[in-house]
Every structure is written in structure tokens, then in C-alpha cells.
Structure 1
Amino acid sequence: MPCYNAAATLNEALESLAGQTFAGFEVIAVDDGSTDGTAEILQVWVGRDERFHLIRTEHKGIIEALNTGLAACRGKYIARMDADDIAYPERLEKQVDFLESREDVTVAGCLVEGFPRDQVRGGFRVYISWLNSLVSDSDLRREMFVESPLAHPSVMFRTEDVIGAGGYQDHGWPEDYDLWLRLYIAGKKFGKVNQVLLSWREYPERLTRTDSRYSLENFLRAKAHYLMMGPLRNRDAVIIWGGGMAGRRLSKHLLREGAPLRAFVDIDPRKIGNTRR
């Protein structure tokens, strides 16, 4: 659990972990150079519950914090958790049971609910609805290049597989989506417990709202990169269906990745016969 200036929400997150029905776990909390008392709150929990462990670092960002935590984990499985979310009491138990019964699956997510309710609106509401409609490996693989089909703090994964894939990497785009795409290319399987097990907090200061790595342009960069490593690898021609703004923006990144782009397909008579540069 990476933590940065999370004092306002941290106790609620930690209480949800302390109340898990599954007992055999430890919490690795990485304080990423917080200045608001986050480390002090974590230290209280370390003294209160022997399952809680604190690592303090200088402020280096989310990816460094994630990899620091990853290196310290000793378990067969790792569950991601953020310092502003709330895990349902049975979350860890349900996800461990899922992975124990599905040895072919590397990443096990779950359904999520957004909160507080007055903040769950617009695109976030649509995104959660879409996320929760994707449960099976075939669902998740089919939609992998639409958007990130797993909420990062909702997942549990096999430690060995994620370390074998190189852990978290910084390419200037979302670190969680990058990991899912690398595992996808490697042929690893995904799944979800078909039950809401995480309350996912929405607020204007959330990292995905404020960090440029999570911009639409950087999502497109990630998609183009891994499309060329996977589905479009060794293709003689690439044709984009849709000559509008989204298709044009994606084409720019595909060309930078070396895609043999040949044409756009569109039904808009104003676009038919035109040339894109």
C-alpha cells in the first residue's frame, strides 16, 4: 500500500484491512515521503498490530513506492490497496479462494463501488459500470485495448508472475495499465470475483486526475506500443476503422511505433476519399 499525504483517509483504509476475515496476511505500507503525519499514523498501527509493517522513503513517486513494497512482500499473493479506499471484510478471503481454485489466473480483480456517492457521476460512473461488466478472462482480454479493465487497488495477483514480468515500470503512461498490457502480451490470464469487494474513493485530487501520465494521450501511447507488440505484430498492413479525432490521434502513435498504416475506414461522406497526413 503506497501512501503519500494520506492522513485524512488512512485510518479508514487501515481499519478495513485490520477487519479482514482472512487472517494470514501482512500489510506493507510504503510512506513515500509524506509531510502530513501519514508516517506517524502508520507507526501507531505498526505498534498496534503485528501484521502491519512500515517502510519510509524519500518522496520518489508512485512507481518507486510500488516497487519498494513489491520487493518487501513475502507472500504467494499480493493484494493492492490504496490509502484512500475501503476493503470489504471478506475481500482478501474471496480473492485468495479465487486464485487457489484458478491456478491458471495471474490477476484476480473484483467488482467495485464508487464513493462518496455525490462524487460518483459522469465519466467515473460510466467507467465503474463498464469495469463491473467485465468478469471473465475473455471479457477482460477482449476489452484490454479499450481502457484499463481492472481497478488497480481492487486486484490480487501472483507475486511470482508480476515480478517475472518486471514489476512496475515507468514509461510515462499509467503504471497499472502498463502492467496489465505486459501480462496480456505474455499470455497470462485475468479474472474477477463477481462481487463488490472494494469501495473506491473518488475526489478531485486523486492521482489519476492530477498526474499527466493518466492523460488520454498517454493512454493512447500505451495502447499503440502494446498493440504493436501483440495483436499488430508482424502485420503487413494496419487499417483504422474511424477517421475521426480518436482514430487520428491513435494513428499518430501507431506510426511512431512503426505500424504499416495503410488506410482509414469511415462512413462519413465528408471523409471518404480524403488523405490523412
Structure 2
Amino acid sequence: MGSPKVSVTMPCYNCESTVGAAIESILNQTFEDLELVTVDDGSDDNTAEILKEYAARDSRLKPIFLEHQGVVGAANAAISAASGEYIARMDADDLALPERIAKQAELLDRDQKTGLTSCRVEFGGDRETHGGYAHYVDWINTLIGADEIALNRFVEFPFANPSIMMRSELIEELGPFRDGNFPEDYELVLRWLEAGVKMRKVDEELLIWNDPPDRLSRNHPKYTVEAFYRIKSEYLFNWLQNRLGPNPKVGIIGSGRTSRKRYEMLESLGVETAFYVDVDPRKVGMYIHGKKVLGRNEIPPAGEIFLLSYIASWGAREEVAEFLHSQGFVMGRDYLLAS
């Protein structure tokens, strides 16, 4: 038999309570020309035995057993063993809806210029106790088209990682996940976008993205807010240099302590600050490190200085964009949201 069209890669670690359902959600897809490459990352529970049981029943499941390496090592081991034209990600605690693989593969077949695709996802957690994560899911579900995704990539990671499907040839060309003191999925997307890869989503909910209390993004230092801002700042600096030249100068919307702390990561790379902008009348007219705080009605006209918004609170970020649009600013040309 030849290689399958799609290889689904699933790192697994101590997930005996959820991995069976995740496996079944892939093996029961309407799209059958697939393989499921699972990597047991040195689990010390019953995960390995469960993988063996499913592999004995369905030859499309190809289990790999490693000593514990961490999620990046396991994810890349699965990718290395995959033989499909398209490589899909899946987590062992999530559920793929029946048409997920078919619809994502169809998008890649139809649009040869798209290199990575995803989909809208259903939030599988408790909105009352984890409202911030639920808001994040709501936000990524608004980003469907390639331009929306590219322009908003410096706000937050624009995908649910286990919803991704990508062309295997791009992994060979641009490299898989990198290990480091940063979120590996966000770094890959930033790196590929910087290389010009087009990314877009299927405009349907095709994955249930669960939110267990032991999710790595809640507990591992490489997924902290600071880690996200570090890697974001590196790629944003590259983007600004390509857009504005080797010594980029920007105006910063948001002069509060949190905004300044996050912006300082970018400033330390060589970005020059023209001014700050704030709506708090107590701050307007003040100087921060020698740079004046302007009221938003004092912002120079579009085209004079590039703006970065570091306003992160829900609703306020959108209000900033609405105000700038009303003043003739165009996202990507005159400003970006960076928080």
C-alpha cells in the first residue's frame, strides 16, 4: 500500500483517561485515507497499553514508544515517522469531529497556495471558571482568512494547536517544531508566516478543544505570558525592520506598567520609541523615559509614525482598532495590535 494522504500526529503522556476517545475520534473520521502516528512519551500509567490495543485492532494506528522527552520531542518524533502528504496535529485529550480531516484536506487540495490550515474549535472547558481561556477561543474563532490571521499574529497565537494541518513539504523546507524557552507551536507559526506561508481556516467547528487542569499551557514555564511575549517580540522586531527599515521608530498605545513591561522586550531589541498614548488624563502630558504621553486625539495623522497597541484587556483592544480606523489608520500599513 502507498502512503496515506494525511498523517495525524498525536503526542501522548500519561493520558490513559482520555487517549482512547481521542484515538476513536480520528479513526472514525469520514476521511479514511489516513494514518494516526501516536508517540507515547515515556508514560508511567496505562497509556502505552491502550495504544497497543488500538493498534492491534486498526492497522492505521502506528504507535511509537520513547523515553520521556517532552512535548516537542514527541511531536517531532511523530512528524518524522509520518508519511502523509499532509500532517495534522492532534492532542490526546481533545476530540476531532467526524469531518475534520476531510474538510481540512479538501481546503489544502483546493487552495494550493495555502500551506497550513486549521478550523474553528469548540471550547471544551467551563466558561464560568476559565473565562479567560473561553474568551481566547472566541477570539481565535474570529480569525478565518489569511489576512486576518497574518495581521493578528502578534496579538496571540491565532490557532488551537491540535487543530492544525500542514503540508509535509513545508516541514522539510522550513523545519518542524523547535525546542526552547518559548511555546513551540507559536514559534513555528511565526517562523512560517515570516517565510511567507499562507494560513487560513475552515470556517466550521471541527475540534473540541478541552481544557483540563493539567494542560501544559497552564503549568509549564515555556507557556507563560512572558515566554509568549519574548518570542512574539523577536518576530515582531523582524517584521518592523522589514516594514520600516533597520532602525524602526514607533508610537506605543498604552503607557501603563504592564504595557510598558511587555513593550520593553521589543524595545531592548532596538526599536525606538517616539511617544506613548493613553486615555487617562492623569497620564497625558507626562514623560516616560523622556518620551511624552499623548492623548489619543494628539496622535499624528496616519502615515507619519507607525503605531503599536499594547492594550490587552478584552474590549479595549477592539476599541483601539475602531478608533484608529475612524482616523484613517489601516492595520498592517499604519499600525498593529501587539497585545
TM-score normalized by structure 2? Answer: 0.78
What is the 5 A alignment of 1:224-243? 224-233=233-242, 234-243=246-255
Q: Are 2:213 and 1:204 aligned?
A: yes
Q: What whole-Å deviation, never above 9, does each CA across 1:6-49 have from its counterpart, x for those lacking one?
A: 10101000111110111111011011110011111101111111
Correspondent of 2:103 among 94, 98, 114: 94
* Code of the aligned partner of 1:252: E
CA RMSD of aligned residues (A): 1.6
Q: What is the rounded CA distance, in whole Å, between the counterparts of 1:7 and 1:194 in structure 2?
A: 32
Structure 1 SS opposite 2:240:
coil
* Code of the aligned partner of 1:67: N
Correspondent of 1:255 among 264, 267, 271: 267
* Code of the aligned partner of 1:136: G
- The verdict on how the C-alpha distance between 1:147 and 1:116 changes in structure 2, with shifts beyond 3 A counting, is closer
Q: What whole-Å deviation, never above 9, does each CA across 1:215-241 have from its counterpart, x for those lacking one?
A: 111111111100111234424413322
Which residue in 2 is equivalent to 1:270? 282
Greater CA deviation, 237-246 or 112-121?
112-121
Greater CA deviation, 261-270 or 100-109?
261-270
- The verdict on how the C-alpha distance between 1:259 and 1:10 changes in structure 2, with shifts beyond 3 A counting, is same
Which residue in 1 is equivalent to 2:60? 51
* Code of the aligned partner of 2:224: S
Structure 2 SS opposite 1:193:
strand
The answer to whether the 8 A contact 2:39-2:65 is kept is yes
* Code of the aligned partner of 1:200: W
Aligned-pair identity in percent equals: 40
The answer to whether the 8 A contact 1:9-1:84 is kept is yes
Q: Are 2:43 and 1:34 aligned?
A: yes
Which residue in 2 is equivalent to 1:6? 15
Is there any run of 5+ residues in structure 1 with no aligned partner, and where? none
Larger Rg: 2
Structure 1 SS opposite 2:139:
helix
Q: What whole-Å deviation, never above 9, does each CA across 1:73-126 have from its counterpart, x for those lacking one?
A: 111101100000000111101110010001111111011001255677411111
Structure 2 SS opposite 1:26:
strand
- The verdict on how the C-alpha distance between 1:231 and 1:6 changes in structure 2, with shifts beyond 3 A counting, is same
Q: Which has the higher relative contact order, 1 or 2, with Cα contacts under 8 A spaced 6 or more apart? A: 1
Correspondent of 1:244 among 231, 253, 256: 256
* Code of the aligned partner of 1:94: K
Is there any run of 5+ residues in structure 2 with no aligned partner, and where? 1-9, 291-339
Which residue in 1 is equivalent to 2:325? none
* Code of the aligned partner of 1:174: P
Q: Are 2:226 and 1:217 aligned?
A: yes
Correspondent of 1:168 among 173, 177, 180: 177
Correspondent of 1:137 among 146, 152, 156: 146
TM-score normalized by structure 1? Answer: 0.95
Q: What is the rounded CA distance, in whole Å, between the counterparts of 1:130 and 1:51 in structure 2?
A: 35
Q: What is the rounded CA distance, in whole Å, between the counterparts of 2:125 and 2:263 in structure 1?
A: 38
How many positions carry a matched residue from both structures?
277
The answer to whether the 8 A contact 2:240-2:248 is kept is no
* Code of the aligned partner of 1:275: I
Q: What is the rounded CA distance, in whole Å, between the counterparts of 2:129 and 2:23 in structure 1?
A: 23
Q: What whole-Å deviation, never above 9, does each CA across 1:160-189 have from its counterpart, x for those lacking one?
A: 113322211123111111011001111111
The answer to whether the 8 A contact 2:19-2:93 is kept is yes
Greater CA deviation, 93-102 or 239-248?
239-248
Structure 2 SS opposite 1:173:
coil
